[in-house]
Amino acid sequence: MHAMKHRHSRFTVIPRLAAAIVAGTLLAGCMAMDFAESEAPQLSRATVAEMSRKKMKPESPVLVRIFKQESELEVWKVDASGRYALFKTYPMCRWSGKLGPKTRAGDRQAPEGFYHVSAGMLNPKSQYYAAFNLGYPNRLESALGYTGDALMVHGACSSSGCYAMTDKGVGEIYAIVQGALRGGQGRFQVQAFPFRMTATNMARHSNDPSMPFWRTMKEGYDAFEFTRRQPKVSLCGGRYVFNAEFADGEPTDPLAACPAAKPIDDALVAKLDAERKKVDTALAASGSSPVSAYTDGGMHPSFRNILKRQGADRMAAQISGTKYPISRPEAALADPYEKFGF
């Protein structure tokens, strides 16, 4: 967690680094941006042009998906079809903890769950360049007694419970979500998963104690996969409930038994039931031991390769205008999932 550090705004920009970023020479696809402390990252002409090619508008709604195991963050936007389409996948530089939900302050866990981010949760002056707060703990997590705060998606490559995207990555993401919020989207949904929730991946982690929670999470994952529409998230029975209509209105107590409800989309129910059976079969057939978790989080292979070649100090200077070092680089180099091709 970076509870205190995110409340400060002063940071040092390396002039040569800033010039390289503005010139677009530091990393491929780097957006031009002004590092002035008083300004938030803005959409580049290249990003707007890419949206146009994909029949999206800067003000159209946005949705974010995060995958720990793959160390990737996806940005989705509503296109001309009226449904969400993938805009871009961003490699994640660092996350900490292991697969599984965050339950207490100080556990170094990056959260897993469904969150909703409003304009007031964006911080253009984060000490990690720019950031937005996930809103952990959400109402369900608070009711379950989970603790912690200030869990962010931010720049640099340092994590103690947050998702670190590098300055370049978070700058572009920040500008995209800010455009959607300014365009009228009241808040955008963030779905944070342990991995891409295929039946195969579920089977690989069949013995993990988080499996009951993950099976609930998969219902929301599948609802979006099948419909490309943002799932409606309700809270009752100590769990997430997706795309349900309740006769007496939305449940107010996340821990109380779920009242009578009916699904919003009957056709979707049939698809979800088929996927549930597919997972049941995969889990029953899985006789392997669970995949060992990272010793402390993960890093996208593209960044791990840079870390191997250049070392932690040079990499930190390359990817961020802040002075924050790579968090626990020796742990970032460990990759128990490499043999599975992740």
Q: Tens of pLDDT along 56-108?
A: 999 999 999 999 999 999 999 999 999 999 999 999 999 999 999 999 999 99
Residue 314 clears pLDDT 90, i.e. is over it? yes
The model's confidence at residue 39, banded by pLDDT at 50, 70 and 90, is confident
Q: What does the pLDDT average to over 228-238? A: 98
pLDDT given for residue 32 in this prediction: 28
Per-residue pLDDT band at 322 (split at 50, 70, 90): confident
Question: Which residue has better confidence, 294 or 15?
Answer: 294
| Lookup result for tokens 């943002």 | 230
| Token duo for residue 140 | 């369900």
Assign 287 a pLDDT band (cuts: 50, 70, 90): confident
Q: Residue 211 — pLDDT band, cuts 50, 70, 90?
A: very high
pTM: 0.87
Q: Assign residue 35 a region: left if phi > 0, alpha if psi is -120 to 50, beta otherwise? A: alpha
Looking at residue 114, what is its pLDDT?
A: 98
Does 273 have pLDDT greater than 50?
A: yes
Lowest mean pLDDT among 10-19, 90-99, 208-217, 219-228: 10-19
Tell me the pLDDT of the chain averaged across its residues.
Answer: 88
Predicted pLDDT of residue 289: 59
- The arithmetic mean of pLDDT across residues 161-186, rounded, is 97
The least confident of 16-30, 190-204, 206-220 is 16-30
Residues 6+ apart with CB under 8 A from 53: none
Residue that wins the pLDDT comparison between 280 and 27: 280
Instruction: Tell me the C-alpha distance between 317 and 166, whole Å.
Output: 11
pLDDT of residue 14: 33
Cβ distance 174 to 132 under 8 Å? yes
Burial 198-224 (b: 16+ CB within 10 A, else e): bbebbbbbbebeebebbbbbbbbbbbb
The whole-number pLDDT of residue 19 equals 33
- Among 121, 123, 151, 153, which Cα is nearest to 136's? 151
Q: What is the pLDDT of residues 118-173, one digit of tens each?
A: 999 999 989 999 999 999 999 999 999 999 999 999 999 999 999 999 999 999 99
In the chain, pLDDT over 70 holds for what percent of residues? 85
More confident residue, 299 or 16: 299
- Tokens describing residue 175: 């500008």
CA–CA separation, 161 vs 175, rounded Å? 23
pLDDT of residue 17: 35
Residue 232 has pLDDT above 80, yes or no: yes
Catalytic residue list: 154, 162
